[in-house]
Amino acid sequence: MANVTVIGAQWGDEGKGKIVDWLAARAGAVVRFQGGHNAGHTLVVGNTTYKLSLLPSGIVTGTLSLIGNGVVLDPWALMGEIERLESQGVSITPENFGIADNCPLILPVHTQLDVMREAAAGKGKIGTTGRGIGPAYEDKVGRRAIRVCDLAHLDELEPQLDRLCAHHDALRAGFGEAPVDRAALLDELKGIAPFVLQYAQPVWRRLNEAKKAGTRILFEGAQGVLLDVDHGTYPFVTSSNTVSGTVASGSGLGPGSAGFVLGIVKAYTTRVGSGPFPTELEDEVGQRLGERGHEFGTVTSRKRRCGWFDAVLVRQTCAISGVTGIALTKIDVLDGFETIKICTGYKLDGEVIDYLPSNAQDQARIEPVYEEMDGWDGTTVGARSWADLPAQAIKYIRRIEELIECPVASVSTSPERDDTILVRDPFAD
């Protein structure tokens, strides 16, 4: 059976939640393999809207949902999310949900450090969500992390707490803050441990068993490739690798398991937080895109910056992540525009280039080179076949395919699950 990996091919917020939900009904397992609860996926099923941050989107359909070791887990945020979903009628049990026992925890000290750093950064703010994601990944790499499996051995945690607190106490002193309250931290861990441990398991083993059984596995990425710590607009990035290659290290399944890589791409471009944005529109057109697209972050409620479609960036992210096909979302937001622009290149110091340079100063100085197309008068809302689309909308989609050098696998025409034009079935490959 074919596996599918879903990743964001822009700066996140591309509509991954709907696509994963749409695919999850045909998968045997859905896996989160990186990121934390800074991710925000919104699912609209009938008259009900579900907002997820940590839980894989497959949980709404009852599909086996797993959090891999590449995720950093805030156990208190997880408890709140599970309680909220259960109040909406979603059943979450150890039978349909599991957490990798080697998954690092996000602790209150991480959240506190994240907030302190951003507050002190002034104009140098990265634009983090302040949820402790970065500091938790730092402790993982620094071998100071407390992991899910450690919750079963809290009486033996003192050596790890020594390493953790020695690091954080020095940082906190620099911000004029008191040392970590070790006793309070340990009490909080003891309080949350029974809740988390009921779901803890060797996820790598369960996935390998599923693979041997021929189960279809759907890997759900968070954020987008342009926020990748290596390949994104550094330093304005997240703290994990968001590319499809992370599937292997973040889940415990081999590198050949990614299968069909589906890149989710918005029909225009948005970004939350600081950092370069070549096609950003700070005028009435950008305002119109934001209002029509309801561009506010699922997790933070922050207003998203909006701009025209950037084919240079998407071509680059598709190449870096080995995207097999894209799912184009929010085409309906462009309904009624007389003229639509697509960025086809950049000007840097008078030279036209066809890629995003790595240097942050160069990224801030580039100017977009646009190609203009006529818009369309008809509506794309709710379209479920090519015949339902205005001819000019089809022309726009085909031009995007040419410019990004990657085929369209599906087109989403509203938040509703079934309002999707399927061009190529990822699970059929």
Q: List residues with catalytic annotation.
A: 13, 41
Question: Residue 335: helix, strand or coil by DSSP?
Answer: coil
**Contact yes or no for 27/214 (Cβ under 8 A):** no
Cis peptide before 276 (omega within 30 of 0): no
Residues 6 or more apart whose CB falls under 8 angstroms from that of 81 comprise: 37, 52, 53, 54, 55
Extract the tokens encoding 417. Answer: 């699950």
C-alpha 163, offset from chain centre: 31
Of all residues in the chain, what percent are helix, strand and coil, respectively (each to 5)?
40, 20, 40
Q: Residue 209 belongs to what H/E stretch? A: helix 203-212
**Contact yes or no for 37/295 (Cβ under 8 A):** no
Going by their DSSP bridges, the two strands 29-32 and 4-8 should be labelled as unpaired
The beta strands (E) that lie in 46-174 are given as: 48-52, 64-67, 97-100
Query: In angstroms, how far is the first alpha carbon of the chain from the final one?
Result: 9
**CA atoms of 125 and 128, how far apart (whole Å):** 8
Nearest residue to 220 (alpha-carbon basis) of 197, 244, 204: 244
**CA atoms of 417 and 424, how far apart (whole Å):** 17
**Contact yes or no for 256/292 (Cβ under 8 A):** no
**Contact yes or no for 7/225 (Cβ under 8 A):** yes
